[in-house]
A and B are shown apart, each in its own frame.
Chain A
Amino acid sequence: MKRTSLAELVAAANAPVSPILFMDTGSWTIHALRATGERLPLSHEQRSGDVVLHLASPLKLATALIALDGTANRILLLSPATPLHVTRSLVASFESSTVLTDEPDRLPPGVQAVPWTDNGLLQEPADPFQSGGRDTLWTFATSGTTGTPKLVAHRLASLTRTIKVAGFGPNGWRWGMLFDMARFAGIQVFLQGVLGGGGVVLPNPTAPLGEQVGTLVRQNCSAVSATPTMWRKLLMTTESNLLQLRQVTLGGEIADNSVLSALAARFRNARIVHIYASTEAGAAFSVVDGQAGFPASYLDDPPRGIRLRLFDRRLAVHNEAVLPEYVGEGSRFAEEDGFIDTGDVVERMGDRIYFRGRENGAINVGGNKVFPEEVEQLLLAHPLVASARVYAKASPITGQLVAAEIVQVGGPIDDSQPLVADLRAWCRETLPPWQVPVFIKVVEHLAINPGGKIVRGSS
């Protein structure tokens, strides 16, 4: 049976005259997006092959997805915000020579690009729009469970599994895009909006958050999905007072009761939902009772389409719709029985399961992962550092922050301030801001466990 393409699904879910994408500069119907998609600077052969989408403009990314799903063999969604060396290795493991980009300067040298600049469209359609009826694989970069991102492939069916497709006409919420749209979470929001009947608002992703929220207000956004850290920041913008939301979704980090109750107080007419999803496990389940954690009953009676299991203290998810291995490496991330070890440590308290952090000790600073070992290695490379321990410090704003203890070469000194300032500058030279330890303590010795390893528990 021929698979229905995204363009066909969107066309069925929206009236022909209803725009599905909204920006401050205009709005677009599925018809307009399809017409632009026919003029993408790609040959017929390229369209039916493997295509890397390296597009910073959410509008261009949406256009390309609608044009290529059902036609291309595979697509790779690669955010231009990705560091150059990571982009190089991901493009190599995807094994495609077609890289469609609107940011050629953010591609590593040697990668051949098909530039899609403002005048980059073909004068005439390459060939009339036709859906090849193929089951195009959508490939995403993970957020890096081991430090280096890997590629995971999804089918459209798995990406849309939890989405309620609209009948016909504008009956769904209008979703606001605050995520990087090329990431798994961004695509969930995009699909929810264009298939749910209400459309998607696309603020300028490079503008400050307050301005982005202003766009959401002007374009009548009624639903927003963001990480708890983004939500806390959003609540601190003056523009957020004007947002009239009916749906508030949290994901990507542990949602605590204080952010949940603050959102309930601000958005009184909204349904507040936190979701559990990852690039590997897909969209697994959502929690709608407004409380942190999830009901223990999900273990025996899981939400549709998935199964959950506790493996040691870690949560394992079984999601049939996700392909169980990393692209280009052949290494499986699912167990033989199909369960994926999420690496998220949970604790059962009564009839509720709470998330406690990452099994591998990764620190989550506002949705950005930090591997303590990597920061320790950098500190140890400093000539005055004899040993180092990097750990998480709890923060009510970003969930966690990075803290470090170091032992100085030659023993303790009276005034550690100059060394601390120097170490901070040392880290800032090579690390992105969230990885730089914000608290550095000089201590006499580090705590060591019976196995001779540094004690890594958070404080």
Chain B
Amino acid sequence: MSLRDTIISELQSTVRDHGGTALPQLADQTVLLESGLDSLGFAVLVSRLEDELGYDPFSLAEDAFYPITFGEFVRFYEENQPS
């Protein structure tokens, strides 16, 4: 499964587990906080992805960054993947 697919699947199950509303189609331009996640849900997603992928770019990245769109979020994980 590609990194992008893993993120989509974890995002969907996080929304489901937290009683969120149905997910719109996820596009690069989708604003994260409008994807069915509130900030608590977003925190859970980042934590689950850390379990799943073995890293957390928010703690690793030299420059702190808070993505606005889904596309930025995926890119942030791609760019900060440990080699």
Contact = CB atoms under 8 A, between A and B. Distances in A.
A401 B43 contact: yes
A238 B68 contact: yes
A217 to B, nearest CB: 15
Contact of A434 (B32, B40, B58): B40
A213 to B, nearest CB: 11
A232 B43 CA distance: 11
Contact of A439 (B47, B65, B67): B47
A380 interface: no
B79 interface: no
Given A265-B63, A434-B40, A395 B68 contact: no
6 contacts: A208-B33, A233-B39, A236-B32, A261-B64, A265-B63, A395-B47
Nearest to B59: A396
Interface in B30-48: 31-33, 39-40, 42-44, 46-47
Interface in B2-44: 17-19, 31-33, 39-40, 42-44
Contacts of B64: 257-262, 265
B28 to A, nearest CB: 14
A262 B76 CA distance: 14
Nearest to B33: A236
Given A232-B66, A236-B67, A396-B59, 20 more contacts: A209-B33, A210-B33, A233-B33, A235-B66, A236-B66, A236-B68, A237-B68, A257-B64, A258-B64, A260-B64, A262-B63, A262-B64, A262-B65, A365-B43, A396-B58, A397-B46, A424-B17, A428-B19, A434-B40, A439-B47
B58 A397 contact: yes
Query: For this complex, into which size category does the number of interface residues on chain B fall?
Result: 20 to 34
Given A236-B32, A238-B31, A238-B68, A397 B39 contact: yes
A366 interface: yes
Contacts of B31: 210, 237-238
A173 to B, nearest CB: 23
A396 B58 CA distance: 6
A219 B61 CA distance: 34
A433 B18 contact: yes
Given A238-B68, A265-B64, A398 B40 contact: yes
Contact of A237 (B33, B42, B44): B33
Contacts of A401: 43-44, 47
Contacts of A208: 33
Given A229-B39, A237-B33, A428-B19, A393 B65 contact: no
Nearest to B44: A438
A262 B44 contact: no
Interface size band for A: 20 to 34
Question: Closest 7 A-B residue pairs measured CB to CB?
Answer: A396-B58, A262-B64, A397-B43, A258-B64, A235-B66, A398-B43, A233-B39
Contact of B40 (A235, A366, A428): A366
A265 B66 CA distance: 11
B65 A396 contact: no
Contact of B43 (A210, A235, A261, A366): A366
Interface in A154-195: none
Nearest to B62: A261
B66 A262 contact: yes
Interface string A383-397: 000000000010111
- The interface centre, meaning the residue of B44, B59, B61, B64 with most chain A CB atoms within 10 A of its CB, is B64
Contacts of A237: 31, 33, 68
Interface in B42-58: 42-44, 46-47, 56, 58
Nearest to A396: B58
Contacts of B56: 396
Contacts of A398: 39-40, 43
B45 to A, nearest CB: 9
A336 B40 CA distance: 40
Nearest to B31: A238
A185 to B, nearest CB: 18
A236 B61 CA distance: 17
Interface in A238-283: 238, 241, 257-262, 265
A233 B33 CA distance: 8
Nearest to B60: A396
Nearest to A232: B66
Contacts of A210: 31, 33
Given A433-B18, A434-B40, A395 B66 contact: no
Contacts of A260: 64
A233 B61 CA distance: 18
Contact of B46 (A209, A235, A396): A396
Contacts of A232: 39, 66
